[in-house]
Amino acid sequence: MTAEGSVRAESPVGTESPVGIDELLERVREGLDRVEADAAHEAARAGEALLVDIRYAALREHDGLIPGALVVERNELEWRLDPQGSHRAPEATSHDLRVVIVCNEGYASSLAAASLRQLGLHRATDLVGGFQAWRAAGLPVTARPVAGPPVASRVSGHASSQASGQTS
């Protein structure tokens, strides 16, 4: 009871006041070592990072794919990348795996990377500016393959749509 005689509601232990999405995003990003497109490209080429594309199918079909990226729908991400999970992707080999999450513009990917860190993937991060920054940097993009499973699959090929004259 307060001095005025009213009962004050106690917050459960460990809870904080609600925050807006902008503040949450800011807090999450403070704990990430976010990477620029060129650095992500080099890390992936050197085998030092796994790029994971979480954009939804319509965006992948419209804009294309990053060659070599693992495509995982956002709602399956934690199950597919948990190295201890029964539904993990073959690439989810260790909690030490450096994962770079790619969304369309670099917002949802920050939240997704934070979620992976909660699973123990302590090197999970995201691509600043997302797929749009990747494409704007002139990095390789391929058209979506016609055949094959749409999720949890690796994108093969290394041809750039710009280099081949194709548009997506």
Please tell me whether the overall predicted TM-score, pTM, comes out greater than 0.85 for this model: no
Q: What angle do CA 107, 145, 57 make, to 5 degrees?
A: 35
* Domain assignment of residue 60, yes or no: yes
* Domain assignment of residue 46, yes or no: yes
* Domain assignment of residue 11, yes or no: no
* Domain assignment of residue 12, yes or no: no
Q: Could you list the pLDDT tens digit for every one of the 168 residues in the chain?
A: 444 444 444 445 556 789 999 999 999 999 999 999 999 999 999 999 999 999 999 999 999 999 999 999 999 999 999 999 999 999 999 999 999 999 999 999 999 999 999 999 999 999 999 999 999 999 999 986 554 454 455 554 433 333 333 333
Number of folded domains that form the chain? 1
* Res 16: pLDDT: 73
Distance in Å from the first CA to the final CA of the chain: 64
Q: In what order do the strands lie in the sheet with 153-154?
A: 125-126, 99-102, 50-53, 70-71, 153-154
* Domain assignment of residue 68, yes or no: yes
* Res 143: pLDDT: 85
β-strand partners of 127 = 35
Domain of residue 120: give its range. Answer: 21-158
Residue type, 15: T
Residue pair 37/129 in contact (Cβ under 8 Å)? The answer is yes
d(CA 78, CA 101): 12
Strands 153-154 and 70-71: antiparallel
CA atoms within 13 A on the CB side of 17: 3
* Res 146: pLDDT: 53
CATH assignment at residue 146? 3.40.250.10
- Cβ-Cβ contacts under 8 Å for 63 (sequence gap 6 or more): 55, 104, 131, 135, 141, 168
